[in-house]
Chains A and B, each alone.
Chain A
Amino acid sequence: MIGDTQREFQEFWTRTAGKVRAYMYCASENWADADDMAQDCYLRALRGWGQFDGRASRQAWLFGIARRTRIDWFRRKKRESVAAGPKNSDRLSKVVPEKPSTDNIEKVWDAVGDLSAEQSQVVHLRFAAGLSYAEIAQALGVPIGTVRSRLHRGLKGIKEQIGEWDNET
């Protein structure tokens, strides 16, 4: 029985680890931090493996854990940086370039970073993790219509941001 669970979890991890890691990177923009968050996320998933009720897909369930892990991790980092003093607190502030990047990829990346937390969550889950609308809805605990709206508004925001930057340059 334990062997089955271990094998099942191993297969699940192999299938999803890349997505989780990419999703974590979208928030931290640092692979070492993304790995820390992914580790924390999988430990939580392992602890709650037997409590999965099957109402959502396993992947959606995992990304629900990943989202909470990301939020907890940022709270902890924020507390640590506040305790460490003003010098380190800059590390957590959003890096917004004064001049827009000339690189298309960087432009879009920065534009996604400027979105609201709710919109960027949906954009990250859709593009970095490759989840379907239904899985995103399950992971965030919102209706599919809300996911659709947030993605739409998010893409509009990216478009506006890129348009502004294009006009400036």
Chain B
Amino acid sequence: MKRDAIERLAIDSAAGELNEDAEALFRIYLAEHPPARQWAEDVSRIYERTRAAINAKTTEGYAGHETSLNKRHPVLQLKWPSFARWAAAVIFGTLIGFAAGRWQTSEKTYRMAWPEPGRNTEQVEAVSDLKDKYAGTFWADKMLALLKHKPGRQYEADFQGVRFWDRYRQYIKEKHHE
């Protein structure tokens, strides 16, 4: 083989670009041809020197790319552990808030009174409040007159003890105001 061919094969061999069969044949050939082996060794040595020199000059590129490029390009830097911590804190806070809200709601529900069938609780409370507030006044009588037209147990209860004369006087007053 010519020198050029030997050198090319030697470079391919040093670069790991020869397959196993070609590598084995090349080794056999070099063992049988000392001048070819010399050419191959020369170019292999240059290959290794070049590789060592470029590696020595550019090693910093590999060692420093984490720090230098990250500093220069914060857009590419993702702090996932920090993000995960924040996300965990937000989720934990949400769960605590949800649990507290549920507890308060259930307590409130427990304290609510169930309405009795056939009786309007809110109306009873409102009427009793008004009775206390306007007891003995014109408006107390007025209220009783209004309730007179509403059938039910509450009406009956509120009119217990009211005489006929009082009812008549209420009627006269209302007539007068009309």
Q: A interface vs B, CB < 8 Å?
A: 6, 10, 13, 17-19, 21-22, 24-26, 31, 34-35, 38-39, 42, 104-109, 112, 123-124, 126-128, 132-133, 148-149, 151-152, 155-156, 158-159, 162
Can you report 23 A-B residue pairs in the complex whose CB atoms are below 8 A from each other? Answer: A13-B76, A18-B65, A19-B61, A21-B58, A22-B58, A22-B61, A22-B62, A31-B60, A42-B76, A104-B49, A104-B53, A109-B57, A112-B53, A112-B54, A123-B54, A128-B54, A128-B58, A133-B17, A152-B4, A155-B11, A155-B46, A155-B50, A156-B7
A159 CA / B41 CA spacing, docked (Å): 12
Whether, in the assembled complex, B139 has its beta carbon less than 8 Å from a beta carbon of chain A, the answer is no
Chain A contact residues, majority secondary structure: helix
B72 touches A39 (CB 8 A): yes
Q: Which residues of B sit under 8 angstroms from A156, Cβ to Cβ?
A: 7, 43
| A-B residue pair count with CB separations less than 8 angstroms | 105
Chain B contact residues, majority secondary structure: helix
Residue of A nearest to B69 (CB): A17
Q: Which residues of A sit under 8 angstroms from B15, Cβ to Cβ?
A: 126, 133, 151
**Besides the known contacts A21-B65, A34-B61, 14 further A-B residue pairs in the complex with CB atoms under 8 A apart:** A13-B76, A21-B61, A21-B68, A24-B61, A26-B58, A109-B57, A112-B50, A128-B54, A133-B17, A152-B4, A152-B8, A155-B46, A159-B43, A162-B46
Contact of A18 among B56, B62, B76 (CB under 8 A): B62
Q: Which residues of A sit under 8 angstroms from B94, Cβ to Cβ?
A: none
Q: Which residues of B sit under 8 angstroms from A133, Cβ to Cβ?
A: 15, 17
A109 CA / B78 CA spacing, docked (Å): 36
A107 CA / B64 CA spacing, docked (Å): 24
Q: Which residues of B sit under 8 angstroms from A123, Cβ to Cβ?
A: 50, 54
A141 CA / B17 CA spacing, docked (Å): 19
Whether, in the assembled complex, B38 has its beta carbon less than 8 Å from a beta carbon of chain A, the answer is no
Are A25 and B43 also in contact (CB < 8 A) when A31-B68, A39-B69 are? no
Residue of A nearest to B14 (CB): A155
B65 touches A148 (CB 8 A): no
Q: Which residues of B sit under 8 angstroms from A25, Cβ to Cβ?
A: 57-58, 60-61
Q: Which residues of A sit under 8 angstroms from B50, Cβ to Cβ?
A: 108, 112, 123, 127, 155, 158
Q: Which residues of A sit under 8 angstroms from B69, Cβ to Cβ?
A: 17, 21, 35, 38-39
Shortest Cβ gap from A152 to chain B (Å): 5
A10 touches B76 (CB 8 A): yes
Whether, in the assembled complex, B154 has its beta carbon less than 8 Å from a beta carbon of chain A, the answer is no
Q: Which residues of A sit under 8 angstroms from B46, Cβ to Cβ?
A: 155, 158-159, 162
Shortest Cβ gap from B36 to chain A (Å): 15
Q: Which residues of B sit under 8 angstroms from A13, Cβ to Cβ?
A: 76
Residue of A nearest to B8 (CB): A152
Shortest Cβ gap from B72 to chain A (Å): 6
Q: Which residues of B sit under 8 angstroms from A18, Cβ to Cβ?
A: 61-63, 65
Whether, in the assembled complex, B51 has its beta carbon less than 8 Å from a beta carbon of chain A, the answer is yes
B11 touches A105 (CB 8 A): no
B54 touches A17 (CB 8 A): no
